[in-house]
Amino acid sequence: MELLRIIVVSTIFLAATAYRLIREVDDDNNDDNLSLDQRFVAENTCIAKNGEDGLCVHESFCNEEHTIMPGGVIHKSEFRELAKPCPGQFIWCCTKALVIEPPIISNKNTESCLAPQSDVIPWAVSLYKIADVKQTAQSVFCLGSLIGTRIILTAATCLKSAQQHMLYARIPGSPEPARNYTVRHRKFHPEYNSGSHVFDFGLLVLEEEVKWGSKKGQGACLDFQKPAGDCMTLGFDSNDEITSTLLKVTSGSCSNFGGKTTSEITCGTNADDQCIATPGGPVLCESKKGNAVVVGVIRSECNKDQIQIGNIAESSKWLLNEMKAMKVPKDVFIQK
């Protein structure tokens, strides 16, 4: 009996030790300084189309050698494949030589973020998509918020609708409002669901910095507070001009969207003469300092004066990690 007891105790001790080691490895793998292989599902190796060993990563981390256009564009034929080497709709098998790290963003031309005190939003972004490099986009299809001088926060649904297109951005409030900025890199929130629209957030990185003339750039101020009270959003009108809409955001205000309100999704009710909202656009509410800060992203157009809002507070960890991976300090997007 004594021998049996010793064996049982030893087994429990070894199991506990193994569990602790596994937890320690898992904790280490959550470190922001991990290598590319560790950060991007390195255990899921695969064989790429060229026959070389590869890694299963999000499609936005493959360069143009795996696309027909810059910016992570996916060809239609890829969706028709019955057998894919990697699981997931947006997970691709890329050879290690072609996998790219998140771009490093320079901040030398960026001041602290700008929290406006009116409905004039200089960092508002208009997004355009084209199916061919010879085409010119005719109209805006989504909006976004410029962070710093190269990053855009928008809705993942906007990225999904442009999977087979090139993307470029314009910043109407900048000194060069008609200038086209090519999107170099796009990233979905890892928990985004295209059906329920939970975690409907996406990030875009521009090929070059937005030019602000002799001034340094000032992007949006993010605030990880829950949208509530008197707020404002943006949309484009029939002339593709960006216009603002006042919102009243209260809990349980999603009656026109099935009444479903969660900590991640809420709704705003139009408090203006007309309701104009565009997916990807910012939701701005008043900060403790009295300025307008971005607390959410629009997920729907107006539906009987109601607008569905994604709460960025629930995705703060993801956003902060992405900014850190691109070497963007908090001063660039958090109000001092």
Supply the pLDDT for residue 42.
44
Sequence-distant (≥ 6) Cβ neighbours of residue 174 within 8 angstroms? 122, 210, 211, 212
Phi-psi region of 169 (alpha: psi -120 to 50; beta: other; left: phi over 0): beta
282-316 tens-digit pLDDT: 999 998 888 899 999 999 888 888 899 999 999 99
Chain-wide mean pLDDT for the chain? 77
Q: So where are the chain's domains?
A: 36-95, 124-219, 229-314
Q: What SS3 state is found at 192? A: coil
65-121 tens-digit pLDDT: 543 333 444 444 444 455 677 877 667 777 766 665 667 776 666 678 889 888 889
Q: What is the CATH number of domain 124-219?
A: 2.40.10.10
42-63 tens-digit pLDDT: 457 887 777 777 888 776 666 5
Overall average pLDDT of the 188-214 stretch: 89
Q: What is the CATH number of domain 229-314?
A: 2.40.10.10
> Which of 2-11, 41-50, 148-157, 254-263 shows the lowest per-residue confidence on average (mean pLDDT)?
2-11
CA distance to 59, 92, 103, per residue, from 83 (Å): 17, 12, 31
> Which of 16-30, 43-57, 124-138 shows the lowest per-residue confidence on average (mean pLDDT)?
16-30
Q: Would the CATH topology of 124-219 be identical to that of 229-314?
A: yes
211-256 tens-digit pLDDT: 888 877 789 999 999 999 999 999 988 888 899 999 999 876 676 6
CA distance to 22, 58, 330, per residue, from 187 (Å): 29, 8, 19
Supply the pLDDT for residue 259.
54
